[in-house]
Amino acid sequence: MRRTRTLILTTVAVVAATATAWFALPASAAAPTASVTTVSDWGTGWQSEVTISNTGASAMSSWKVEFDLPAGATIGSFWDASLSSAGTHHTFTNRSWNGSVPVDAKVTFGFIGSGGKPANCKLNGQPCGDSGGTSGDTAGGASSPSPANPTNPNSPGGSGPVAGGTTTAPTVAPTTAPATKAPTTPKADETTAVPPASNLLPVTVSNKTGRGDSVFLYVLGVNLTTGKLGYVNSAGTFTAWTGGGAVPVPAPDVAIAGPGNGASTTIKVPKNLSGRLYMSFGQKLDFRLTTGGLVQPAPWAGGDPNRDILFDWSEFTLNDSGLWLNSSQVDMFAVPHIVSVTGGNGVTSKTGELKAGGRQAVINAVKASPDFAKSVVTRADGTVLRVLAPGKAADAGLMSPTYLDSYISSAWTAYTSKNLTVVPFTDQPSVRYTGRTSGNVMNFTDASGKTVASFTKPSTANVWGCDGALAAPNDQVVGPIARTLCAALTRTTLGRLDTQPSGTAADFYQGNPANLYAKVIHENMTDGKAYAFAFDDVQNQESLVHDGDPRQAGITLTPF
């Protein structure tokens, strides 16, 4: 919900903002200094900030920060600086408006990268400090959450590989403040009896699948008050995880017996929890603990013990601002389910419902495409377990990792000769940014002509994951532009529609090549809403319900 994120579920355990370790890199008492801070690290990428402090004796009129990255590492988006690169060497220089730094003043700029982090830092040709200017890691070996859309705490961010690449350890907490407005997409379609307000929200899971498998439920998340990762039992008691090791060890069995076909099970979720509610069929899931937190299922990864289990999850955040609950197809499409919430006014909103036969229709459409067909995963007994999202399928070697490259290049170069206008906030139409491409970089200026963000041309993987060159920091400028670009590229409207976001569902996925996975999932939803990629919430296309005064919630497992 990734806006990830989403609740976003990302790749690592949450740490408090104050826990981010950083190294001040002094050059000398009479010269400017620089520090490179790792603001967040989500496994597949990281966000860094450089602070230049004029601790010298005279004002600075310009500055230059340069460093090396390991082979294979890349810089994606960046802001408040200009970038030039030569191989693995990267040089940031001031913009026209922030080169002057008075004595005792500071200036900062930031960037997002993937792979190894900066080394051999220099400020104006001199070493940034004795340590060589390497960026800091987050304290305790954990990392801050992946960037996400700052308007929704539950944007699905997907998950990335832990060292070894066999499993993932997503965070289970929102990375941003709660949404400032309720989404407009869910349908308020019925009025029911209203339970009293409580710090324990009843969530009823109903099984209408028509299947005879045993069902197991798990409520896993982060306590937003303490920041601790843990699990919840059926009565709503939160328990923090303990133990773990450098090599993942089995987590305690915290499964809750779920409903049989035609039955329902009600569990309680405590306020100030953000996480996932998993449901598995026929077999319990295999969770592991490491010193950095919980390793969650990643069936697209080789060797994951959950690969042959039919399962899925919903994502949620419950806090003082209400409940956000979504179904997610960001990583995979597996078990169809409806999510719903009933507010204090007795009105129930719901979304995520597939059309009759919709699951099979999605499977058939994907199987019919030579490019996507291998992303349909079938168990030995003939059960279709899941359809992998394109990014996960590409990671697993099941589809081309360069599938979108031709479209991306065409869309990116379209703006060498015309302007792209980004209006990221529907309630602030006067806030707009103008983008133009120069080489492989698209620069955005504000109304005053100031360059506020720059993005290198993304790869197919960056578009699938809304990551790397399109990763969205939690701010009010670069992040909103990044998520808008990712949505436009995923929906193939960039290059065709020169104001973004814009268009309707009829305009989406019309380019060539297109994201067939997202297209057919949306087409088979009764309300057209789905979370088929991390920023599907741009233009309110996501399968999310929210209520500021939730009294009960529901997850209905529908026939398949």
Catalytic positions are 315, 331
Running DSSP on this structure, what letter comes out for residue 343? E
73 burial (CB, 10 Å; 0-12 / 13-18 / 19+) is middle
The continuous run of DSSP H or E covering 203 comes out as: strand 200-207
The candidate with the shortest Cα–Cα distance to 551, out of 264, 352, 273, 348, is 348
| Residue 520 three-state SS | helix
Tokens of 247: 């090599």
φ, ψ at 371 (rounded to 5°): -75, -30
| Residue 505 three-state SS | helix
Q: Cβ distance 538 to 484 under 8 Å?
A: yes
Tokens of 468: 């790397």
Q: Cβ distance 110 to 49 under 8 Å?
A: yes
CA–CA separation, 219 vs 456, rounded Å? Answer: 39
Question: Does the CA dihedral 455-459-460-466 come out positive or negative?
Answer: negative
CA–CA separation, 275 vs 219, rounded Å? Answer: 7
The continuous run of DSSP H or E covering 480 comes out as: helix 478-490
CA–CA separation, 405 vs 400, rounded Å? Answer: 10
Q: Cβ distance 541 to 330 under 8 Å?
A: no
CA–CA separation, 26 vs 28, rounded Å? Answer: 6
Helix axes 516-523 and 358-367, enclosed angle (nearest 10): 160
Strand 89-93: give its sheet, edge to edge. 82-86, 89-93, 64-68, 119-123, 126-127
Give Cα separations from 376 to 102, 324, 533 (angstroms). 59, 29, 17
Q: Cβ distance 265 to 163 under 8 Å?
A: no
CA–CA separation, 427 vs 438, rounded Å? Answer: 30
Give Cα separations from 183 to 344, 474, 518, 540 (angstroms). 17, 19, 20, 7
